[in-house]
Amino acid sequence: MKESVISAVERLLDNYLEMNNHRKTPERYSILRAVYSIHGHFTIDELKARLDKEMDFPVSRATLYNTLNLFLSLRLVIRHRFQGSTKYEACYDNQSHCHQICSQCGKVTEIKSPEIIAAVESLQLKRFRKDGFTLYIYGICSTCQAKSAKRKNATKKKESNNKNTAEK
């Protein structure tokens, strides 16, 4: 992530902590830097591993959850609940986007769609100010489609061989 983005989110965190008389702990800033060094979605376990191994800054799971909740309230992080798992994503300067999610393997891919973004931005909503959006599109990825086709072909071939054997 660009240093300018990291500096900007650190300033936002500084301002919030000062205005609300919260402590500026090294854990909060290390977690913030780790979050913004991860490209894409991450789980709590992936974030913990990055802090433990790559940054040599171990923190407890409770500290991670509490800090991520703080970041959620500041809109520095967004939480996604994808098919049975919770993932997080840094969202400063990257709020509106779409995800395609394979309903078989669970693979999540971000997609850029200027048409969808334009459509949502042009929506006139009553008594509501839009901050951003996330769209989830569910389907089956090409890898799972290919695996499914191979299974079907293998099943058909097996049935055909069994039929030919029975006829002899």
List the binding residues for Zn(2+): 102, 105, 141, 144
Q: Which residue has the tokens 């409770």?
A: 62
Distance (Å, whole) CA 19 – CA 15: 6
Spatial CA neighbour of 32 closest among 85, 55, 127: 55
Say if residue 160 is exposed, middle or buried (CB neighbours under 10 Å; 0-12, 13-18, 19+): exposed
Take residue 75 and report the two structure tokens written for it: 């809109």
Residues near 6 by Cβ (< 8 Å), separated by ≥ 6? 32, 33, 36
Say if CB 17 and CB 25 are below 8 A apart: no
Binding-site residues: 102, 105, 141, 144
